Structure 1
Amino acid sequence: MAEPLDDPGRLDALIRTGLGAAADPMFDRFASIVQRTLGVPVALVSLVDDIRQVFPGAYGLALPWQQRRQTPLSHSFCQHVVTSGETLVVTDARTDPRVAGNLAITDLGVVGYAGIPLTDGDGMVLGSLCAIDTAPRQWTAGELDLLADLAATCSDSLRLRIATQTARGNEHAASAAFDRSQLLLRASVALARANTLAEVVGAVRTLVTGTMDPDYVGVSLLDADHQVHLQSGDSLPKRVADRWRRYPQTARTPSALAADTGLPILLPDLAAVAEQAPDAAATFAEMGWQSGASVPLPGPHGPIGALTFVWKDRYPLGAAEQAVLAALAGYVGQALQRVDYLYSREQVATLLQRAMLSDLPDAAPFELAARYVPAARGEHVGGDWYDAVRLEDGHLALVVGDVTGHDMLAAARMGQLRSMLRAFIVDRHEPPSALLRRLDAAMQVLGDPTPTTAVLAYVRPETTGFRLQWANAGHPSPVLLEADGTVSPLTGRDMLLGLRQRTTRNNYSRPLPPGSTVLFYTDGLIETRTDALDDRKLQLHGVLTGLAGASLPDLLDEILARLAGDRHEDDVALLALRSPGD
């Protein structure tokens, strides 16, 4: 509801929030979630009075604004959200007549802006939840939907703050309100860290234990076929969980009703259960439940499911507790959307990485094996790669490299470098050092000198056997494992790629004894935050010593198990070649 900036009722509501030009952990968390979700440099929870705007929640503000936590209205875009009562979306503030000339453009670097109204219980606009970019930005509908959902949850928290301030006259009510506020603060932190559906469900259970003390907390989600899926059945007896694992959205249960109507379903006693949710009455009787409540989980286009609580006793919910459940459902809804986004991103990243990794060629008379393991952090993609190219005259080219970065951009750059180097290998019959110089020059000319390490090696037949020739651009030294278990690093290394033009590069050479193994690897295998690098290299050499007789696949699997484990911090690429025996 749009109001003048100096409307007395609106100013009174701002005072009753108890918020001002000081950091508040809850609203700082909102700003942090907006920044991470939308990928903007700055995010603010802004409250606007008749002379200034204050930022109880802020992320990314430059000094001195981060310390002041306020600006005059001459620097406020958010005042337009308040006076209009509507969302303000600005692609380029420098050319937008609504805000052109605002001092925030020059003093705070505000160019792209999206602000959603924050309202109190009467619908009065108190400020804005805003995302800010320092460059022009085309805001997508999906981004604005996510920002609107976060703003709705933030508004719930503001209303709870107002209710808390109003209740301060009653010590018991104030204490309860404080507990609820702390619950929401803990929820904002715990659910922002949850990256899987199981973590979301577990976090909700933990949060309400000791506060509302329900006997059971349920999370249910809707699918595209209008079916309700129970996600929290592991805390129910199997017979009960199986009964409600999947059922129609039209069923009259607390979860289905809340998800279908988008309204809270309050069941203070068994009479209310029998009247409103008769399909669940038998389960209530079987489990000894006396009351319950279910609130819809908000999504960008309507409810995505429901959050349900049940108690062993009668439990009428007051207005403040209903506000807590609504706010908690908002947090859970956002967490579930983020989980879905992360899962989709993982799927895309996994397909991208698989498409970029080479199938190993027929390398006879040599044996070849490779492994790629993503970092244990969810997004299965990075800049590490391996490659092998079979050439004429029994020659074999081997490559292992690592592009700086741990995201899909790094993987895309890796794909470009890998393709260029493959083309050079096939087209140019030159030593490894010359091809790495060509690759370095191409990176400079094409304007993408991303720091990259790589080893390029040739295996060539000679009169008495085979010889390995290699050039190393800042990469960890490969390791030679001889048939008798002797381990030695293949030293010799020059500057990494992408730093400067016309770098001197050298070739190094060594005969390959019969039955020997050459291991190429990326730094994720040996680098950790806690161990010395030299100690990790010695550990690798020790592992290899006992694997001289193992098959190459078993050798690589054992190396990964003993050095990388389940929680390695970086991507790992391995490539191993074994020469023929006597």
Structure 2
Amino acid sequence: MSAPHLPKVAGIDPAVPAPAHTVAPHLPSATPQPESGSPAAAAQDLSPVDQLAAVQDRLAGWISDLTTLHELTEQMARTASLDDALHELLRAGAALVGAQRGMIVLEPADGRGPDTTVGLGLGRADLGTIETIPRSSASYGRILDGLPEEEGDSTARLEIAHPDLRNEPALDPRHREVAARLGYAASYAVPLATDEAGRLGAAVWLYDEPTEPVDRQRHLVGLYTRFATEHLARHLELSRARTVADTLREELLPSRLPRMAGVRLAVRHRTGPQGGGDWYDALPLPEGALGLAVGGVTGSGPSAVAAMGRLRASLRAYAVMEGEDPVAVLSDLELLLRLTEPARSATALFAYCEPALRRLVLSGAGHCPPLIIGEQRTEFVETSLSAPLGMLSCWEAPSVEFETVSGETLLLYSDGLLHRTGEPMDQAFALLHAAAASVPKSVRDDPDAIADHMLSTVLPDGRDTADSPEDVVLLVVRFD
């Protein structure tokens, strides 16, 4: 009688050790008979019915374990971020080894980061206390710093178990002290490593009582962490790519807003996961003037970010030369876009502002109209309808001149703020107007508070920070 072959589930090798609660059945063969009193001899005494029941029990144990691993790997595959993946790995591993608490120390061996620590059932203060253990004594420290190979096993597969921390004489006293303070009596640690990425970190699970995982639990958590760490490595690379893109995008935007008499500024900038081309600018101009701009290029990703940087830098140059004439600024920008980015279009709005006079002259190219908030009015600035840059053979639109009074605020924003509401554009504009009209009087002299109120009202429940293909730019200009 040949042994049954179980189907593979989610890429997991079904050839796992037999469940501890079963006894391997004896099948007739020509092999020498086992010694009397051995488990195999005991199995030999079973009747055929009992042998079949033992085989069924063993198969049921395998199927149960494979089903559990399949469910856990599916849950890991659904994680959307590096932080989610770390917490899911920690939770699932704790369930497999029967632990109550644990921690993951992410410290990639290539030194590129990010370095972070997450806990399960441990607060920030608890994690800080564990970090006071000398690294050479802490399980995660020994794994991350690289232990010597033992019995032919590489450090990538090495595990560290402390079944009774209170009674290990060779353990560092500080380690025992921390364990007693936090109330754990045993620990089990495994490396998180892949062949391609190398060592990424270490996972440590903690037990309230002296114990250690049995062989079957170790095998199952080894199978799970092998898959989970591969998934973790993909999240890590994606997180690094996003960090680089975010850094590049932020470097292409103003590092700080200018401070000028008579006006105060605040800005909120949100980007999607791929990075978009929405931008803003506020630059001092000759004779105490201020140039204000918002805009966006079509597309997303690195190419859109690069195009945004080129467009913003060019607009700065044109603003210095022709700032008093916003139409000329955008006309020059449109010509440059057609010559250098013929397959791309962009929206833009540029305003020449004289803070001392509270006077503005602005022109827009397919961009949303600004919004004025004041004691006596909350209204959109009436701008001429115009096409985006790069859409026509020659762009031109008249400028608009208007004045504000002391205490009024001007809002410049991107259309992503409207699109993220999920409403039709007319309703989104109405929602934006209602949010502006509802700004509490107590915060109307604080541009940062106004910006926060607008985002939380127009995009409630964290929709301003949620992943979205739409960027959000909100530039708040408060006139004193």
Question: Is the TM value for this pair above 0.5?
Answer: yes
In structure 2, C-alpha distance between the alignment counterparts of 1:285 and 1:218, rounded to whole Å? 17
Q: Which segments of 5 or more consecutive residues in structure 2 lack a partner in the other structure?
A: 18-23, 25-51, 148-154
Q: Matches of residues 100-119 of structure 1 in structure 2 within 5 Å?
A: none
Cα drift, residue 414 of structure 1: 0.9
**1:472 and 1:262, CA in 2 relative to 1: closer, same or farther beyond 3 A?**
same
Match of 2:348 in 1: 454
Task: Determine whether 1:215 maps to 2:113.
Answer: no
Residue 418 in 1 paired to residue 322 in 2? no
Q: Out of 487, 492, 517, which is 2:409 matched to?
A: 517
Matched, 1:402 2:296: yes
Mark the CA change 1:205 to 1:394 in structure 2 (over 3 Å): closer, same or farther.
closer
Determine what percentage of the aligned residue pairs are the same residue: 22
Deviations, residues 38-92 of structure 1 (Å, cap 9, x unaligned): xxxxxxxxxxxxxxxxxxxxxxxxxxxxxxxxxxxxxxxxxxxxxxxxxxxxxxx
1: CA distance, partners of 2:421 / 2:403: 34
Q: 1:295 touches 1:325 (CA, 8 Å); kept in 2?
A: no
Q: Which amino acid in 2 is paired with 1:574?
A: L
Q: Using the alignment, how far apart are the partners of 1:209 and 1:572 within structure 2? A: 40
* DSSP 3-state at the match of 2:368: coil
The 8 Å contact of residues 322 and 328 in structure 2, kept in 1 or not, is answered as no
Deviations 1:340-391 (A, max 9, x none): 5455445544443443223444555x4141303324x678x54222223444
Cα 1:219/1:395, change in 2 over 3 Å: closer
Aligned position for 2:45:
none
1:356 paired to 2:258: no
Q: TM-score, normalised by structure 1?
A: 0.58
Q: Distance in 1 between matches of 2:352 and 2:201?
A: 58
Q: How far off its partner does 1:444 sit?
A: 2.5
Structure 1 pair 495–268 and aligned structure 2 pair: CA distance change class (3 A): same
The structural deviation recorded for 1:507 is 1.2
Question: Aligned match of 1:369 in 237, 254, 265?
Answer: 265
Cα displacement (A) at 1:401:
0.6
Q: Are 2:371 and 2:379, in contact at CA under 8 Å, matched by a contact in 1?
A: yes
SS of equivalent to 2:433: helix
Whole-angstrom CA distance in 1 between matches of 2:62 and 2:263: 68
Distance 1:541 1:283, change over 3 A: closer
Task: Name the aligned partner's letter for residue 121 of structure 2.
Answer: S
Matched, 1:506 2:397: yes
Mark the runs of 5 or more structure 1 residues left unpaired by the alignment. Answer: 1-14, 27-156
The 10-residue stretch of structure 1 (229-238 or 178-187) with the greater mean CA deviation from structure 2:
229-238
Deviation at 1:298, TM superposition (A): 0.7
Instruction: Give the match for residue 572 of structure 1.
Output: 472
Determine the structure 2 residue equivalent to 1:124: none
Q: Which residue of 1 aligns with 2:224?
A: 328
Residues 256-305 of structure 1, C-alpha deviations (whole Å, 9 max, x = no match) = 3696233343759669x959989878888995757x64332115564343
Number of aligned residues:
416
Aligned with 2:88 (options 203, 209, 223): 203
CA distance in 1 between partners of 2:170 and 2:56 (Å): 35
Task: After TM superposition, list the pairs within 5 Å mapping 1:182-197 onto structure 2.
Answer: 182-192=67-77, 193=79, 195-197=81-83
Q: What is the match of residue 63 of structure 2?
A: 178
Give the 3-state SS of the residue equivalent to 2:362 in structure 1.
strand
1:289-347 Cα offsets, whole Å, 9 max, x none, are: 57x643321155643433344665564213xx544322322244345545554554455
Q: Which of 1 and 2 has greater Rg?
A: 2
Tell me if the contact between 1:455 and 1:475 (Cα under 8 Å) persists in the aligned partners: yes
Is contact 2:365-2:387 (8 Å) kept?
yes
Q: CA deviation at 1:522?
A: 1.0
User: Aligned AA for 1:525?
Assistant: L
d(CA) in 1 for partners of 2:291, 2:143: 63
Give how far 1:446 is off: 1.5
TM-score between the two structures when normalised by the length of structure 2: 0.69
Kindly tell me: are residues 284 and 510 of structure 1, through their superposed partners in 2, closer, same or farther at Cα, counting changes over 3 Å? closer
Counterpart of 1:370 in 2: which secondary structure? Answer: strand
Taking a change above 3 Å as real, the CA distance of residues 170 and 537 of structure 1, as seen in their structure-2 partners, is farther
- Separation in structure 2 between the aligned mates of residue 406 and residue 560 of structure 1, nearest angstrom: 22
With over 3 angstroms needed to count, the CA separation of the structure-2 counterparts of 1:223 and 1:505, relative to structure 1, is closer
Q: Which structure has the higher relative contact order (CA within 8 Å, separation 6+)? A: 2
Q: Distance in 2 between matches of 1:304 and 1:559?
A: 41
Deviation of 1:456 after TM superposition, in Å, equals 1.9
C-alpha contact 1:431 1:507 (8 A) present in aligned 2: no
Q: CA RMSD in A?
A: 4.6
Q: Is 1:441 the counterpart of 2:335 in the alignment? A: yes
Secondary structure at the residue paired with 1:303?
strand
How far the C-alpha of 1:554 sits from its partner, in A, is: 3.5
| Aligned-residue offset at 1:182 | 3.7
C-alpha distance after superposition, 1:118-140 (max 9, x if no partner) = xxxxxxxxxxxxxxxxxxxxxxx
Instruction: For residue 417 of structure 1, report the CA deviation from its aligned partner.
Output: 0.3
In structure 2, what is the Cα distance between the partners aligned to 1:418 and 1:252? 51
Pick from 277, 281, 286: which aligns with 1:387? 281
SS at match of 1:419: helix
Would the alpha carbon gap of residues 222 and 519 (structure 1) be closer, same or farther in structure 2, given more than 3 Å must change?
closer
Give the whole-Å Cα distance in 1 for the aligned partners of 2:323 and 2:161.
79
